[in-house]
Structure 1
C-alpha cells in the first residue's frame, strides 16, 4: 500500500540522499522520485531507484519521521541500526545490504537494497505460492536466530542490556506508566518475577523477530527486518517473542508465527549451534512477550485517550484486552490455572 507523500519532505530526503551517495561513493546515481510506503510506526520507509552506468537498482530509504506518533523508549538510533545490519550481514544473517547513510546534519536515515518478497504476516500464511516455504520456516527461523545470537558483542554498537530481572522490572515500569489497572497484567508480572530463567552469557537479541518482520519468497526467508529494538539480553527472548499468539494471525494451532511448531523451531536453533533452550524457557519468554505486547498496546491506548489519535493507534490500543486472554491461557497451559 502507498501513502500520499509530502512533496517537500520527499524533495528534502532526495537531496540528502544525493549528498550521501556523493560522500560515500564519489558519484551520484540518477534517483527516481521517492514514494512513501505504508507501515512502520516509529520510522518512515521510502521506495526509490538509483540508476548508474545503465544499471537500475531498487532501494528503500529508512528515515526518522518528522513527527513521532509513538514512544521511542528502547528504540535504537538509525545509525546504530545500520551498523547492526552490516554486522548481521557479515555474520551470515539474511538482511538487506546498507548502501549509504544520510549525514548527521540531515535527517537520520539510511538506504538499503530492496528485497523482493512478501512481508505482510497474514499474506505469508495464506499465499499458496509460499506453501513450500511455510513448511520449513519454523526450522529456518531457528537457524537464523542461532546465527544472530552467535554474533560477537565486541563488534556491535552500544545497546541497552536487559537480562531477565531487568527486563521484567522495565516491563513493570512501562505498565505503571500507562496509568491503567489490569489485574491480569499484575498477575503475569508476579508469574514472571517468580520464574526468572538462568540465561547464561548475554547475547545480541533482535528484539522483534516475528512473522511480519520477515521477507519471504517461495525459497523461504529472504531477509530479517526491523532491528530497532535490538539489545543485549537473553537469547531465548527472541524465540519466545516469535511464539507470541498475536503473531499467529488466526492460526493458533501453529504457535511459531502461525506457520510451525515449537519443536521445529528449537530443532533448527540447536542444529545451527543455538544455546541450550528448554520448553520452560520458551514458555517464560512467550509469557514475557505477550505481556510486553499488551503493555505496548495499553501505552498506545493511554496516549489515544489523551488525544494523540490515529486509526492505527485505536486499532493497536484495543488489542491490550486480547493479550489478557493470551496470558491467562499461557498460565493455564503451564499448570498455573
Structure 2
C-alpha cells in the first residue's frame, strides 16, 4: 500500500474518530474509475470497527464513461436511504485537506456481492425465492425518488432514442468493424418505445451490484451510473444474460422470473409494465455492454487505465453480441472451429500453457486481495491468446466464406478486414441483403469469436 495513502488515512481516522487509530487497510477492487478499501480501526476503548472507503482513482480527472464522481454518489446514497432503498450509511465525506482525493467512508455491511455465489450458495436459497420480487420493489422505490433540481442538473438526462444513438456513436468512434453491433443498433432504432417516463435511473442495478443476505437485499451498491431517463432501462438491464452467471433459465439475475420482477415493481407503482418495452431494454443492455466493453479496452490502449483487466474486458464484447444474436436472430449455432496442428516442440500454445500453470500454482497462492484478482485476470488473458492461436485461422476462413456469400462479385477478394467493413457499411446504410444468409453469417461469426474469447459462456448453446 502507498505510504502517503496510509499516512493520510491514519491522520484522518485520528481526527474523525476521537482517540482511534488505523489498524489495517486493504484494497478490494483494482479500480477503473473508483477504488474500494476495507479499513479497520481501533477505538480508544480498544474496540474495533470496520468501514469501507470509496474514492476516485488517483490521477484520473474524469471517466470516459460518464461515471459520477464520489461526491455526487454520496448525495444519491443519502437520497436513496430517505426513500426506503437499502444502502450503506455514509460515515464521512472526504475533504480536500484529507489528501485522499474525492471519496467517502461508509458503513461496512456483511453479505454476498459475488453474482456467481448469489445464484448458487445454498444458504441464500431462501432469499433467492423472493429476490426477483424484492428487486422489483427496490427499483420502483428508486424510480419514485424525488430528485432535487440541484442534483438533476448534474445528472445526464437522455431519451431512449438518444441513448441508442450515443452508444452507437461511441462504438463508431472506436473504428472497429463489429457487424453484429451495427445490426443491433438498427433494430433498436426501429423499435424505440413510443412512450416513456423520465425518472431517476440507477443505471447498473444487476446481480453483482447487490449485497444479498439470507433475509434478502442487504444493500443496493454502485450508484455512479445514475442518470435521468426511462426507468424500464433498469428492469431490462437486470435481465441481461451477462448478469445471470450461467443460469440462463432464470432471466432475472440468474435467480428469478420476469413475472416476479414485474409483480414486485407493480406492487409499488400500481402501473403495468409493458413486456415489449422491457424486451427493448434487454436488447439495449446487451448492445450497450458490447460497446462499453470495447471502449473500456480502448482506455488501456490510450493509457488512461493501464490495468491488465481492461484488454480482457474488451474480449467480453463477444458475449454480449452473442446475447443479441439469441434475442434478435435465433437459430442453430455452428460447431467449434477446427484447431490447427503445430509441429513445433514445444508449440506456442504449450509455452503459454506452461506460463499459466506457473502463475496459478506458484505465484497466485502467494498473493491476496486485488493482486490475486489481477493475477487471475492475467491467466485468463493468456488463455484467450492460447485459443486465438489455435482456433482463429479456421474461424476466419469460415467468416471469409460467409462474407463472400453475402456480396456477389467478390470471389477473388481475400481481404477479410475490408469485407468486414463492407458489411458494416451496408448495415449502417440499411442496404437490402438476404435476411437468412445475413442471420446465419452473424450467428456463425459471433459464435466463433466467443469460442475463442470465452468458450464457457452460457450463450454458446441453442437453448
Q: Using the TM superposition, give the Cα deviation of residue 261 of structure 1 relative to its aligned residue in structure 2, in angstroms.
A: 1.1
For 2:243 and 2:29, how far apart are their aligned partners in 1? 19
Instruction: Pick from 90, 94, 106 the counterpart of residue 98 of structure 1.
Output: 90
For 2:315 and 2:299, how far apart are their aligned partners in 1? 12
Residues 164-243 of structure 1 aligned to structure 2 (within 5 Å): 164-243=160-239
Aligned match of 2:26: 35
Instruction: Pick from 283, 287, 290 the counterpart of residue 283 of structure 2.
Output: 287
| 1:75 lines up with 2:71 in the alignment | no
Per-residue Cα deviation, 1:56-97 (whole angstroms, up to 9, x for no partner): 432101011124499433111111100100000010000000
User: 1:40/1:127 Cα in 2 relative to 1: closer, same or farther (>3 Å)?
Assistant: farther
Q: TM-score w.r.t. structure 1 length?
A: 0.89
Residues 1-337 of structure 1 aligned to structure 2 (within 5 Å): 5-18=1-14, 21=16, 27=18, 29-38=20-29, 40-52=31-43, 54=45, 56-68=48-60, 71-105=63-97, 106=99, 107-154=101-148, 157=151, 158-273=154-269, 275-305=271-301, 309-332=306-329
User: 1:6/1:275 Cα in 2 relative to 1: closer, same or farther (>3 Å)?
Assistant: farther
For 1:109 and 1:18, how far apart are their aligned partners in 2? 18
Per-residue Cα deviation, 1:43-63 (whole angstroms, up to 9, x for no partner): 111111345564543210101
User: 1:327/1:119 Cα in 2 relative to 1: closer, same or farther (>3 Å)?
Assistant: same
CA RMSD of aligned residues (A): 2.3
Q: Using the TM superposition, give the Cα deviation of residue 35 of structure 1 relative to its aligned residue in structure 2, in angstroms.
A: 1.8
User: 1:249/1:280 Cα in 2 relative to 1: closer, same or farther (>3 Å)?
Assistant: same
Q: Using the TM superposition, give the Cα deviation of residue 168 of structure 1 relative to its aligned residue in structure 2, in angstroms.
A: 1.1
Judging by fraction of residues, say which structure has more helix.
2
For 1:93 and 1:12, how far apart are their aligned partners in 2? 32
- Structure with more relative contact order (C-alpha pairs < 8 Å, separation 6 or more): 1
Q: Which moved more, 1:317-326 or 1:70-79?
A: 70-79
Q: Using the TM superposition, give the Cα deviation of residue 6 of structure 1 relative to its aligned residue in structure 2, in angstroms.
A: 2.4
For 1:193 and 1:165, how far apart are their aligned partners in 2? 7
Q: Using the TM superposition, give the Cα deviation of residue 125 of structure 1 relative to its aligned residue in structure 2, in angstroms.
A: 1.3
Q: Using the TM superposition, give the Cα deviation of residue 40 of structure 1 relative to its aligned residue in structure 2, in angstroms.
A: 4.1
Per-residue Cα deviation, 1:160-211 (whole angstroms, up to 9, x for no partner): 1012122112111211122211111111111111111144331000010000
Q: TM-score w.r.t. structure 2 length?
A: 0.66
| Contiguous gaps of at least 5 residues in structure 2 | 331-435, 440-463
User: 1:40/1:214 Cα in 2 relative to 1: closer, same or farther (>3 Å)?
Assistant: farther
Q: Which moved more, 1:169-178 or 1:137-146?
A: 169-178
User: 1:174/1:66 Cα in 2 relative to 1: closer, same or farther (>3 Å)?
Assistant: same
Is the CA contact 1:133–1:220 (under 8 Å) kept in the aligned structure 2? yes
Is the CA contact 1:255–1:262 (under 8 Å) kept in the aligned structure 2? yes
For 1:172 and 1:88, how far apart are their aligned partners in 2? 31
User: 1:274/1:208 Cα in 2 relative to 1: closer, same or farther (>3 Å)?
Assistant: farther
Is the CA contact 1:235–1:275 (under 8 Å) kept in the aligned structure 2? no
Give the number of equivalent residue pairs. Answer: 326
For 2:271 and 2:2, how far apart are their aligned partners in 1? 47
Is the CA contact 2:13–2:20 (under 8 Å) kept in the aligned structure 1? no
Q: Using the TM superposition, give the Cα deviation of residue 274 of structure 1 relative to its aligned residue in structure 2, in angstroms.
A: 6.2
For 1:309 and 1:264, how far apart are their aligned partners in 2? 41
For 1:148 and 1:90, how far apart are their aligned partners in 2? 11
Per-residue Cα deviation, 1:110-161 (whole angstroms, up to 9, x for no partner): 0000110110111111211111111111111001000000000226722110
Structure 1 residue matching 2:66: 3-state secondary structure: coil
